[in-house]
A and B are shown apart, each in its own frame.
Chain A
Amino acid sequence: MVGDILVNTLINTGVYAMLAVGFSLMFGVARLINLAHTAFYMLAGYSIFFFITRMGLPWLPSVLLSILIVVVVAVVSYKALIDPMRERETTVLILTIALALVLQEVMLILFGGYFRSVPSALSGYSTILGVRVTNQYLLTLGVVAVTLVAVWLLLMRTKLGLAIRATAQDREIANVMGMCDSRTATVTVAIAAALAGVAGAVVAPLYILEPRIWLPPLTIVLAIAVLGGLGSLKGSLLGAVIIALSESLVVFLVPQGSFFKGAFSLGVMILVLLIRPEGLYGVAFEEER
């Protein structure tokens, strides 16, 4: 039982963290509440399904191709739709909803509303802490860990990362200091979309693929990003741990808990917000006028 909870928490933490870090970065740098973020994750799942089962490509090239597709779609839609509207935040909000709907419907038309499953990259299972874990889960964990470390290094050790963090802290000053904020924003959107793509690609074999799978994780990702503080990387990671743990606890300990897991994690989010209105690591927002 304890082992189940731990393993489940670990895997969900990884996936949620990747989605939430991307979402949070996008908010921090581009000031964009991107409700289509998990739709990118769905898109990645479907493209990997397409490349593996329809085109017969091996696992690694299909993953890379689907990440590429997601990044291209995200950057093009950001440049064409969102960026010209960035002054009107409510319009941007529903543009992202409409974008998510478009992606959902295109997938529905292309692949139909059937439940699809993507073949695992690895078969077999190993036993950890007395829990049977399939090797696909271990692969997922590995990929997630490597990706998150890579993002961390990118943000903390490179000039680009410095620009991204600076823009997230204060867009105007960053601009004054010679960082082109629109370019930084575009790069951030690309990174965030790539993270969603990786998440979709590694998670696709674990879950069932369906055009509407973007809605349930959306609330979770929002909860994590808000819980940890929008725009904060550390916060997103911690938030992912908290939410994934509370989800696993509810699912394993409460009868019929899986109905209630989304509601429970959102309840946790609201509790945290009541105590700390700007999230765990959120910066109190500078007045932007």
Chain B
Amino acid sequence: MMVRYHLLRLWREFKGEILVLPGRSILFFGAVTLFLLPLASSHPYLLRVVSLACIFAIFAASWDLLSGFVGQLNLGHALFFGVAAYTSGLLNLHLGWPPLVTIPLGAVAAVLTGLAVGIPCLRLKGPYLSLATLAFPVILMGLILMFTEFTGGELGVPGLDRLAPTRLHEYYVVATCAVVFILLIWKVTDSKLGIIFHAIREDEVAARASGINTPMYKILAFCLSGLFAGLAGGLYAHFMRIAGPSTLSMLTSFQVIIWTIFGGIATVHGAVVGVFILFPAVEVLRVAPEFRMLGYAVLIILVLRFMPEGVAPWVTDRLERECPRCKEHNAFTRRDCRVCGTPLRVPLARGVPVRGEGVGAGGRGGAVAG
């Protein structure tokens, strides 16, 4: 009886929270597909691409947490990724510790890096902050190329332990990590902390005036973001079995920005969507190797030209409608709000239906003030 009651409650929650909104349903079924994918095809190349996409999804979501939600536009996010990758790699190679230990330790190193970067950057604002953060991975890269005997220089730290004995096991490890970590990031942004982050981004002075210790929360954001980026970096190092200087390169930093903004900034799921569209797209574009990057760049330019908020908010705008009275979201098929019953489509005098304000509208893109 008890089991049945709880199952029923779970189903009702599931129906009421996820199935009612098309956007959430798509994400949910996407996550389910992620776990069922190996049943359909266990082609090693496919698994590899999806696994990497999962790792980068964590990475992109962590960037979104710092830059999208708190508005601390970080142009050097590869720093956290690279520090964690190198820490896990060196610990694994020299001390022989298993990935289960080295990845969390790498993440701890990334958190400490977040502290080291976050505290001096507290005084900087807007573009100064972005451009200062851009410098840190380049400096670290310079150090790595200087002390070649310890870091392997251009070649990196090769020959690390695998995450799991087989490709399939690795896939499931990475996919589970991705789902769990991304849910955690989403939970952070959905909590009181997330509201504070939003407040800091929208108006830091007002947030301070309301008694929010903004420097502390900014450092917290740097650390949290570093934590998740570090976890992604450690996973990446063990998945690729090498921690190389490419993890620190400027293009890695730019990639994560491209993915997140392409998918939709300050949404968490947007970052994930961006990675899962663009990362496989680059692989598909391998059919024409010489036009690959060109196609990628043109794709980004075209999509952003017509969906400036990013793909995910654009799609939710089409599929969902905000109730004008209680601000709850509703599926586009509904005639009245599922919570308060307000009619959603009030015909105007000339019979033009009114659309609710979009999800993505209002200040999301303007995360950083010049």
Contact = CB atoms under 8 A, between A and B. Distances in A.
Interface of A: 27, 31, 33, 35, 81, 84-85, 87-91, 93-95, 97-99, 101-102, 104-106, 108-109, 215, 218-219, 222-223, 225-226, 230, 256, 259-260, 262-264, 266-267, 269-270, 273-274, 277-279, 282, 285, 287-289
Nearest to A97: B254
B356 to A, nearest CB: 21
Contacts of A273: 123-124, 128, 132
A101 B135 contact: no
Contacts of B128: 226, 230, 273, 277-279, 282
Given A31-B370, A277-B128, 15 more contacts: A87-B366, A89-B367, A90-B368, A98-B301, A105-B293, A105-B294, A215-B250, A218-B250, A223-B131, A259-B146, A260-B142, A266-B138, A270-B135, A273-B123, A287-B369
B258 A289 contact: no
A222 B134 CA distance: 9
Contacts of A218: 250
A264 B141 CA distance: 11
A93 B257 contact: yes
A270 B120 contact: yes
A230 B127 contact: yes
Interface residues of B, number: 50
B6 interface: no
B296 interface: yes
Interface in B307-345: 308-309
Contact of A266 (B127, B139, B369): B139
Contacts of B125: 277, 285
B65 to A, nearest CB: 14
Interface of B: 67, 73, 120, 123-128, 130-132, 134-136, 138-143, 145-146, 250-251, 254, 257-258, 261-262, 265, 290-291, 293-294, 296-298, 300-301, 304-305, 308-309, 365-370
Nearest to A219: B138
Contacts of A288: 369-370
A95 B370 contact: no
Contact of A94 (B139, B262, B298, B366): B262
A285 B294 contact: no
A274 B296 CA distance: 37
27 contacts: A31-B370, A35-B254, A89-B365, A89-B366, A90-B261, A94-B258, A94-B261, A94-B304, A98-B298, A98-B301, A98-B304, A109-B290, A109-B294, A223-B135, A225-B131, A226-B127, A259-B142, A259-B145, A263-B141, A273-B123, A273-B128, A277-B125, A278-B128, A282-B128, A285-B126, A288-B370, A289-B369
Contacts of A109: 290-291, 294
Contacts of B290: 108-109
A99 to B, nearest CB: 7
Given A98-B297, A102-B301, A270-B135, A264 B142 contact: yes
A239 B262 CA distance: 34
A27 B370 CA distance: 9
A20 B127 CA distance: 15
Contacts of A99: 297, 301
Given A266-B135, A285-B125, A91 B308 contact: yes
A49 B244 CA distance: 34
B174 to A, nearest CB: 26
Given A95-B304, A101-B293, A256-B146, A219 B250 contact: yes
A105 B368 contact: no
A278 B132 CA distance: 11
A10 to B, nearest CB: 24
A91 B261 contact: yes
B368 A269 contact: no
Nearest to A227: B131
B297 A101 contact: yes
B258 A27 contact: no
Contacts of B120: 270, 274
A77 to B, nearest CB: 9
Contact of B308 (A27, A35, A85, A277): A85
